[in-house]
Structure 1
């Protein structure tokens, strides 16, 4: 796979150009001077609110189901040497590889209510899957320094480098990608496009089939070829969303990649997958920045 030296900035999917542009503005001085303690308290209150919601119980069950169906690595693993610190226990008492978590495109949670609810849900998901907070990496170029302080104080690992097209998964990883741009999903699939790596991914984000339904088919196949192919072989479990939180959790699913499904694709599918270019995407939802000399 080629590496052109370019960088992709994460942008959350917006319903209009104005909202999309607003999400990429520099952080304000007010955000930089956040009251960390009060912001954390507000986030924890939102966590408590979601914990009492009926729809959260179904989210919890679906996430546990997704984890249990792929608790083993995609290889046989009987003779594989796995470091002891990477082994956890599944619900049946057997050993399994522990999950890591990566969150891109969360948005400015100090000023955006939807982003705060999505951060609160992330914390609940980490608790449910027993993923240590330090094993959850978060990144969004719109984070202010104050918001980065809040995330660090919560115990999460705040990435300093934009790796939206660099994350190659080497162990089971939960990707929390709420309302991210189509290109980000496509990039993630491209970077992990193999029968050995894709089964390690669990994605909580926009339904791939929903993305397909909203696009002209020829454009979808041309510009987002990896999502196009993934639709046919991934397993999606739709997650419920109450009407009052439609702007926060609509069109969300748990997406996994069973090895048995991937084997149905022709072998040529996996041979030297070309890097996405997006030459025909004037409204690209991530920003390409030239490599500085």
Structure 2
């Protein structure tokens, strides 16, 4: 591996607080980096990292878990008459292909041109897209930390770069892989709120921080008050921990595949889904999310 010891020092960060401090310096850091970024060199480094990860034993486990989760998500019948006919879905699905329906959204990747961890996470995303046969154009990515040069590099790779900060509030209208590596809890909570229904949750596959891990690291009262949708999701989601080699512990630690089986959701009372209130985080002094800029 060509990365120096200093590079790994840059990559090492404590979850949450370090990401927040990095994000607060987005404007100055991005302006500095975008003028110097060599797009071709950056894309080559990413592709070299993809090749490196492809040879790793733990990658095969990630691939298998994605295919299992994707197959389960695509096999779910529609929940109401307004959705597509299940026969049409089966015809589109084909022989084990996920690309016919599965799309991808990636939030919070970080500055992959300067951060080794972010580059490895981007390389893993590209591997997952290939394994799931998801066209690159069907993967939307966003992070306010991206410089202009990084956005150009992502477009060069074939990905779709979002221009608006959605704050995680995107509805899954079809089976969707959400790739949220080491993101703040508010981003997960917003995503769950926006999809808080028996129709939408089963369409979601999340690869990101373990919900159980979040619960274990927080005081239960504060977890329920500030991140109520994650707290409820812990009890109904299916979470499968993904392996991580020790040398990449800062890159892929505490990562899980999270899905929402319809059978588990159906056990909840109907009142669970009635007009879920939008979350607000007035009690969170260390909020780990960059909110969209509001017009004054």
TM-score by length of 1: 0.89
Change (3 A) 1:16 1:235: closer
How far has the Cα of 1:268 moved from its partner? Answer: 0.5
How far has the Cα of 1:291 moved from its partner? Answer: 2.5
Partner of 2:84: 80
Taking the TM superposition and a 5 Å limit, the aligned residue runs for 1:94-243 are: 98-243=101-246
Change (3 A) 1:14 1:162: farther
Larger strand proportion, structure 1 or 2? Answer: 1
Q: Is the 8 A contact 1:109 1:119 kept in 2?
A: yes
How far has the Cα of 1:106 moved from its partner? Answer: 0.2
How far has the Cα of 1:288 moved from its partner? Answer: 3.6
Give ranges in structure 1 of 5+ residues lacking alignment.
1-12
1:236 counterpart SS class: strand
How far has the Cα of 1:34 moved from its partner? Answer: 1.0
Q: Is the 8 A contact 1:73 1:172 kept in 2?
A: no
Partner of 1:24: 24
Query: In the TM superposition, what whole-angstrom CA distance separates every residue of 1:31-72 from its partner, at most 9, and x where no partner exists?
Result: 343111111110011000000001001111111111122222
Count of aligned positions: 278
How far has the Cα of 1:151 moved from its partner? Answer: 0.2
Change (3 A) 1:265 1:50: same
- RMSD of aligned Cα (Å): 2.3
Larger helix proportion, structure 1 or 2? Answer: 2
How far has the Cα of 1:16 moved from its partner? Answer: 6.3
Change (3 A) 1:191 1:175: same
Give the distance between the partners of 1:36 and 1:289, measured in 2 at CA: 27
Change (3 A) 1:112 1:190: same
Change (3 A) 1:228 1:74: farther
Question: Is 2:71 aligned against 1:59?
Answer: no
Partner of 2:3: none
Question: Is 2:283 aligned against 1:280?
Answer: yes
1:277 counterpart SS class: coil
Q: Is the 8 A contact 2:165 2:292 kept in 1?
A: no
Q: Is the 8 A contact 1:24 1:142 kept in 2?
A: no
How far has the Cα of 1:152 moved from its partner? Answer: 0.2
Structure 1 range deviating more: 242-251 or 75-84: 75-84
Taking the TM superposition and a 5 Å limit, the aligned residue runs for 1:1-16 are: 14-15=14-15
Partner of 2:5: none
Point out which structure has higher relative CO (alpha carbons under 8 A, 6+ apart).
1
How far has the Cα of 1:74 moved from its partner? Answer: 4.5
Give the distance between the partners of 2:293 and 2:80, measured in 1 at CA: 42
Partner of 1:6: none
Give the distance between the partners of 1:90 and 1:215, measured in 2 at CA: 44
1:70 counterpart SS class: helix
